[in-house]
Amino acid sequence: MSIEVRNLKKRFGETVVCDDLNLDIEEGQLVALLGPSGSGKTTLLRIIAGLEVPDSGSVLFHGEDTTGADVRERQVGFVFQHYALFGHMTIFENVAFGLRVRPKATRPSDKAIADKVHELLKLVQLDWIADRYPHQLSGGQRQRIALARALAVEPKVLLLDEPFGALDAKVRKELRRWLRRLHEEVNVTSVFVTHDQEEAMEVADRIVVMNRGRIEQDGPPDEVYDHPATPFVLQFLGDVNLFHGRLGHTPGSPAGAEEVAYVRPHELQIVDAPAPGSIAVTLAQALTVGPNTRLEFRRQDDGSYVDVELPRAEYNALRERLGLKAGSAVHLLPRHVTRFSNDSFDPAAMI
Ligand SMILES: Nc1ncnc2c1ncn2[C@@H]1O[C@H](COP(=O)(O)OP(=O)(O)OP(=O)(O)O)[C@@H](O)[C@H]1O
């Protein structure tokens, strides 16, 4: 089922939460709504679900206006961060619930329900757990069961609101991959809310970056990362250094114009001699975490900090070769610089 969002507006008091949003989601896509807290992701998801009414605009499912259709008619499945399973029911009964409560005329037979539940438990790789109760499961297992329960009624659209938000980092990572594979199998149109850029990049076919009730950019993960449309998107999708002034100044650009250049920490090369476009810096500290080393430098001209990140082995080789230690003077050469013609980035918007 495709989803179209048209000129959607919603405000709570003075706060504009959906500021004339337009969005097309193709059938079978997995789309992430990504943005900081308060950017309007959950409200947009709730409007798509029919749990919230917009002030104006519409949501179309497969070309049909759903305005006025209630939650059940929309045939959406939900998984929330804290979507508690029914504690007094076994896992089997939790997954069967949506089918059991159907009116008699459309309710499958007990045998058909049992088959469906086992099929779903296999799909989420937990069929050995059917007779347990929710409190006997880990958080990650519970969310997989919540997903099986949402899929039991064969929803046309699956909506996930920070489904892995309450889980620890390692489990989150596993579940992301698992969800990706599951989506390839089930292929139901899915919208996934997250504030975690890594999660969005890893899981989604498409990322919709939201900020203050607006869509800043909408595209495949690589496109959004490699070609950010705005400074906000660039900053939200990963760490970046800001340089004011003439960094790697392009000949022909207007002289004297104040420019802001953005360079990601892994896009700065450490060299021992000045080169065109390089910056003279002094090493403040180096920190190795896992496979990467993060170096903090200070610019020799204005004392501001610049972060550089590189693979641990590369750092070790460089340290040997240049005798790099705290206080060493070197030069940084950007490999890739991003500039925006009409720069109006407001750092306060990131908080
Ligand atoms: N029922 C409500 N009444 C009043 N204000 C609301 C209501 N629901 C949301 N808001 C406000 O609307 C704004 C957007 O909230 P929303 O939950 O959609 O953002 P979000 O991007 O999902 O953020 P988070 O990741 O923190 O959930 C926030 O400023 C929030 O305080």
Q: Do domains 3-236 and 241-350 have the same CATH topology?
A: no
Residue 41 Cβ inside 6 Å of ligand 1? The answer reads yes
Q: How far apart are the C-alpha atoms of 279 and 295, rounded to whole Å? A: 15
Q: How far apart are the C-alpha atoms of 155 and 160, rounded to whole Å? A: 13
51-70 burial code (b ≥16 CB/10 A, e <16): bbebeebebbbeeeebeeee
Span 256-273, pLDDT tens digits: 456 788 999 999 999 999
Ligand 1 centroid to Cα of residue 342, in Å, is 29
Residue 82 contacts by C-beta under 8 Å, 6 or more apart in sequence? 166
Per domain, the residue ranges of the chain are 3-236, 241-350
Angle between helices 110-123 and 91-100 (to 10 degrees): 130
Ligand 1 centroid to Cα of residue 161, in Å, is 13
Q: Of the residues 10, 12, 208, which should be mutated to test ligand 1's pocket, given the most ligand atoms within 8 Å of the CB?
A: 12
Q: How far apart are the C-alpha atoms of 80 and 158, rounded to whole Å? A: 11
Q: What single letter denotes the amino acid at residue 192?
A: F
pTM, rounded to two decimals: 0.86
Ligand 1 centroid to Cα of residue 43, in Å, is 6
CATH code, residues 241-350: 2.40.50.140
Which strand ranges, in their side-by-side order, compose the sheet holding 292-299?
268-271, 329-334, 279-289, 292-299, 305-311
Topology of the domain comprising 3-236: Rossmann fold (3.40.50)
Q: What number is the ipTM of this complex? A: 0.93
Give the closest residue (by CA) to ligand 1 atom 30: 38
Give the closest residue (by CA) to ligand 1 atom 10: 12
**Contact (Cβ atoms closer than 8 angstroms) between residue 276 and residue 324:** no
Residue 28 tokens, joined: 């079978």
Residue 12 Cβ inside 6 Å of ligand 1? The answer reads yes
One digit per residue, the tens of pLDDT, for the chain of length 351 reads: 899 999 999 999 999 999 999 999 999 999 999 999 999 999 999 999 888 999 999 999 988 888 777 777 778 888 887 767 899 999 999 999 989 988 888 899 999 999 999 999 988 888 899 999 999 998 889 988 998 998 888 888 999 999 888 788 888 888 888 888 889 988 899 999 999 999 999 999 999 999 999 999 999 999 999 999 999 999 999 999 998 766 654 444 454 456 788 999 999 999 999 999 899 999 999 999 899 999 999 999 889 999 999 999 999 999 999 999 999 999 999 999 998 865 554 444 443
Q: Dihedral angle at the C-alpha atoms of 91, 132, 87, 74, nearest 10 degrees?
A: -10
Q: How far apart are the C-alpha atoms of 104 and 168, rounded to whole Å? A: 41
Residue 225 tokens, joined: 């990362």
**Contact (Cβ atoms closer than 8 angstroms) between residue 66 and residue 50:** yes
Burial of 283 (0-12, 13-18, 19+ CB in 10 A): buried
Q: How far apart are the C-alpha atoms of 90 and 135, rounded to whole Å? A: 10
